[in-house]
Structure 1
Amino acid sequence: MELPDFTDEIIHYLKQKELPSNIEAAVILGSGLGTFTDHIENPFLVSYEDIPSMPVSSVEGHDGKLIIGKINDHPIIAFSGRFHHYEGFSFEQTATPVYISKALDVNKLIISNAAGAINTSFSVGDLMVIEDVIRNNLSIAPRGRKQHRYLHHQYVNRIRKIASDLGLITQQGTYMYVTGPNYETKAEIRAFRTMGADAVGMSTTTELFEAARLELKSAAISLITNMSTGVTGDKLDHKEVKATADARKEDFARVVKALIQKF
């Protein structure tokens, strides 16, 4: 199992905190989605700043805390805040939650993000199950790793069925990764739509590819928090991300809890 050296120091520190021996699932919480941690039973919180070799997120809407607890008696670990390449982190660092999850032998990884809709049939507030990704010829993973397949499309129908059983309609689509931190131009969004992208964001892709390399079963869901540049005449604002996340936080929590139990 090929993990970065810094993973050992992080795991050594966490195991001193008397982690459960059988953590079943890990959850990476995207922008504005940190309120999911309110549903974790008997939570034990550790600040990223206190963990040796752990990156510290600097983006608004990312709390920067690791939470250990249970969801309906299922032991989990949640990352309230992720790491973006545009913050100055290496791709290895952006995938830190994936490496921690693999080192702790979790059975499943649930990845979430806030994304802008490119597909004009989508609406703000939609939940999109990521079927595929477009890297736009960008390097999105650490160099020198073995070749591997992108495997996550095989789980899409299962994820959507779990949501449907809750009475929740989901979209499915292709996620376009961009480096950020600036929002995209109108011309870029037109080009991305022509390429087949349904939503765009600045995270998640490295996590998905590293999870595939490590053969860690993963689900990825985007909350559509805004329409991308040029889709409407509205100006993009990070406050819109938070407002949409707040409006759908209970539905999002229901889906994640069901995935923890059934995925």
Structure 2
Amino acid sequence: MELPNYVSEIKNFLVESGFPSSVDSVVILGSGLGDFSDTIENSFSIDYIQIPHFPAPSVQGHSGKLFYGKVAGKDVIAFSGRFHHYEGYSFSKTVLPVHLANLFSAKKIIISNAAGAINTNFKVGDLMVIDDVFRFFHSVPILPSNSFRYNLYPVADRMRKIAAESGLDIQRGTYMYVKGPNYESKAEIRAFRILGADVVGMSTVPELIESSRLGLKAAAISLVTNMAAGVSKGKLDHSEVKEAAEKRKEDFAILVSSIIEKL
């Protein structure tokens, strides 16, 4: 599969800096979820700004560090901070973690995000396994390729079982992808609910699409950090993301560690 030329340069730099040549899993940590890096054993990190061709995240809650270490006895690379299309990056740049996962021969990639709840049965602090996605615009142009399909259901089924085995009660549903950076209007949220979406956010789908194109097993998790516009009376604020993530960081760490071990 075709990858941008600079991806090999990045891997070479990381290996020369102390990263291994291959890992079991790659984790992308969404807004406010960077504390998972504290659970990585024998960890080693490097700032994004030190890595050639790496963008620097500008969103609050994204530290901009790349970690390597052990989780559940397995070699893991974790991205604490992601690159959003609304920050001005091309879609090809937003999926850089997926390209590196492929080049590091990862067996799986775990993609997490902070999301707003559309489903009125959800509440702030819920963890949701993504089993389907909806794109609220025509396409997500990444790289030219033959047509392909992606199916999240088998992985989502297994993730629910893993969560139950770990004593966690989690939701399952459809993620609505919007480009951002503005929060959605009440009218848009009503429309998204009619279309069948359970949560809404501004990331993850490009990574899932590219993982499928490359044949990389992908698991996706949303943390509900706020109720979407019109679902609750409160004003949407990014500080809610950090607060909700802080309350569920231990459960999130248990879930991700269990997925790394068992998926």
Is the structural similarity TM-score above 0.5? Answer: yes
SS of 1:121's equivalent in the other structure is coil
Larger displacement relative to structure 2 (129-138 or 204-213): 129-138
Query: Matched residues in 1 for 2:18 and 2:60: separation?
Result: 30
The aligned counterpart of 2:63 is 63
1:19 equivalent in alignment to 2:19: yes
Query: 1:152 deviation in Å?
Result: 1.9
SS of 1:130's equivalent in the other structure is strand
The aligned counterpart of 1:220 is 220
Query: Matched residues in 2 for 1:119 and 1:18: separation?
Result: 44
Equivalenced residues, count: 263
1:169 equivalent in alignment to 2:180: no
Query: Matched residues in 2 for 1:104 and 1:26: separation?
Result: 9
1:124–1:244 CA contact under 8 A, matched in 2: yes
Amino acid at match of 1:40: I
The aligned counterpart of 2:178 is 178
SS of 2:4's equivalent in the other structure is coil
The aligned counterpart of 1:79 is 79
**Structure 1: unaligned runs, 5 residues or longer:** none
Query: Matched residues in 1 for 2:111 and 2:141: separation?
Result: 17
SS of 1:225's equivalent in the other structure is strand
Larger displacement relative to structure 2 (231-240 or 150-159): 150-159
1:203-259 superposed Cα distances (whole Å, 9 cap, x missing partner): 000000000000000100000011000001111111111000000000000000000
Matches within 5 A, 1:110-149: 110-149=110-149
The aligned counterpart of 1:256 is 256
Query: 1:21 deviation in Å?
Result: 3.9
1:33-81 superposed Cα distances (whole Å, 9 cap, x missing partner): 0000000111111111011111111111001110001113211000000
SS of 2:46's equivalent in the other structure is strand
SS of 1:179's equivalent in the other structure is coil
SS of 1:251's equivalent in the other structure is helix
1:205 equivalent in alignment to 2:183: no
Query: 1:143 deviation in Å?
Result: 4.6
1:141–1:209 CA contact under 8 A, matched in 2: no
Query: Matched residues in 2 for 1:254 and 1:4: separation?
Result: 34
1:37–1:78 CA contact under 8 A, matched in 2: yes
Query: Matched residues in 2 for 1:74 and 1:172: separation?
Result: 26
**Structure 2: unaligned runs, 5 residues or longer:** none
Query: 1:8 deviation in Å?
Result: 1.4
Amino acid at match of 1:260: I
Query: Matched residues in 1 for 2:11 and 2:248: separation?
Result: 33
> RMSD between aligned alpha carbons?
1.0
Query: Matched residues in 2 for 1:27 and 1:138: separation?
Result: 28
TM-score normalised over the length of structure 2? 0.98
Instruction: Name segments (4+ residues, structure 1) moved above 4 Å.
Output: none
Query: 1:154 deviation in Å?
Result: 1.9
SS of 1:189's equivalent in the other structure is helix
SS of 2:206's equivalent in the other structure is helix
Query: Matched residues in 1 for 2:6 and 2:151: separation?
Result: 26
The aligned counterpart of 1:47 is 47
The aligned counterpart of 1:10 is 10
SS of 1:250's equivalent in the other structure is helix
The aligned counterpart of 1:231 is 231
Query: Matched residues in 1 for 2:22 and 2:29: separation?
Result: 21
The aligned counterpart of 1:244 is 244
Larger displacement relative to structure 2 (12-21 or 121-130): 12-21
Query: 1:167 deviation in Å?
Result: 1.0
2:15–2:21 CA contact under 8 A, matched in 1: no
1:11–1:103 CA contact under 8 A, matched in 2: yes
Query: Matched residues in 2 for 1:80 and 1:156: separation?
Result: 23
SS of 1:83's equivalent in the other structure is coil
